[in-house]
Amino acid sequence: MHTILKFLFSLCIGAVLMPSTSCSQGSASAAADANTVRTDSAIVIDNILNRRSIRAYTDQPVERQKLEVIARCGINAPSGMNSQPWQVCIVDSPAYIDSLTAIFKKLQPERAEQPGFKNMFRNAPALIFVASPSNGSGQVDCGLMGENMVLAAEAMGLGTCIQGGPLAFMKNTKECAPYIQQLQIPEDYELLYIIGVGYPDETPDAKPRDESKVKFID
Ligand SMILES: Cc1cc2nc3c(=O)[nH]c(=O)nc-3n(C[C@H](O)[C@H](O)[C@H](O)COP(=O)(O)O)c2cc1C
């Protein structure tokens, strides 16, 4: 087993074996509380390791309540000095997505002819637009918030795909300008990425990860 995998494996085992440090609450026994904490730790790690970008979705719309939970998890990400340098705009309107897709189809018909194509946002029925200050600050913070949202979605059985390409298409296509306008992003912010969200209709394998990118220095 590679070093990183060993590390992750030991983390998982550690999560399962580690005694609970939380205070017991209510009438539940301390042992029951400890069990809950152990299980939750393993679930969090599984959630991170099992997440994959999803580009095929069922037709089931995403409940607003779930989108709200995702957004709340996003804005609870850490940010430098709690500056919260983000703007988040959630769109689940089929009309919005279909109108942009019509523009996309006109300009890139070969992409729209690909099997399984439903819309230009990697087929997702709901979109989360994230913007950061136009002066370039806040991008780390916005990245952290994105991962929070993606993992929250995963935990609720939803699939996601972070998207730079479709946003670039929107920014570079003049017919898309009114749709960007509709998002009401403040003037001093610029759109950074989109997260497509929906109920997954595929279970892609993990793409390879380069473990040599991580080093421990003794
Ligand atoms: C900043 C960023 C931009 C991305 N843009 C796109 C995109 O435009 N289209 C797409 O299909 N996937 C996009 N992805 C998803 C990556 O392709 C994906 O995360 C990567 O291949 C690893 O696969 P995994 O997410 O399934 O582990 C983007 C991911 C990130 C972080």
Tell me if 151 sits within 8 A of 47, measured CB to CB. yes
- In 3D, which of 191, 199, 195, 213 has the Cα closest to residue 147? 195
Share of residues in the chain with pLDDT > 90 (%): 81
Mean pLDDT over each residue of the chain, to the nearest integer:
88
Q: 130 with 84: CB under 8 angstroms?
A: no
List the strands of the sheet with 87-91, edge to edge.
87-91, 126-133, 189-198, 159-163
Average pLDDT for residues 138-152, to the nearest whole number?
A: 98
Give the mean pLDDT of 127-132. 99
- For ligand 1, whether the C-beta of 161 sits within 6 Å is yes
Provide the residue ranges of all domains of the chain, joining segments of one domain with +: 3-50, 64-198
What span, in angstroms and rounded, lies between the C-alpha atoms of 11 and 15? 6
Poorest-pLDDT segment among 26-30, 81-85, 91-95, 199-203 = 26-30
Is 64-198 a domain of CATH 3.40.50.360?
no
- Whether the predicted pLDDT of 17 surpasses 90: no
Residue 17 CA to residue 113 CA, distance in Å, equals 51
Going by alpha carbons, the residue nearest to atom 12 of ligand 1 is 163
Dump pLDDT digits (tens) for 67-76.
999 999 999 9
Within 13 Å and on the Cβ side, how many CA atoms surround 42? Answer: 13
**Atom of ligand 1 at shortest range from CA of 167:** 8
115 Cβ partners below 8 Å, 6+ apart?
A: none
pLDDT tens digit sequence for 84-122? 999 999 999 999 999 999 999 999 999 999 999 999 999
194 close to 129: Cβ distance less than 8 angstroms = yes
Ligand 1 pocket: which of 48, 50, 52, 53 to mutate (most atoms within 8 A of CB): 53
The region of weakest confidence among 26-30, 75-79, 176-180 is 26-30
Say if ligand 1 is within 6 A of residue 57 CB: no
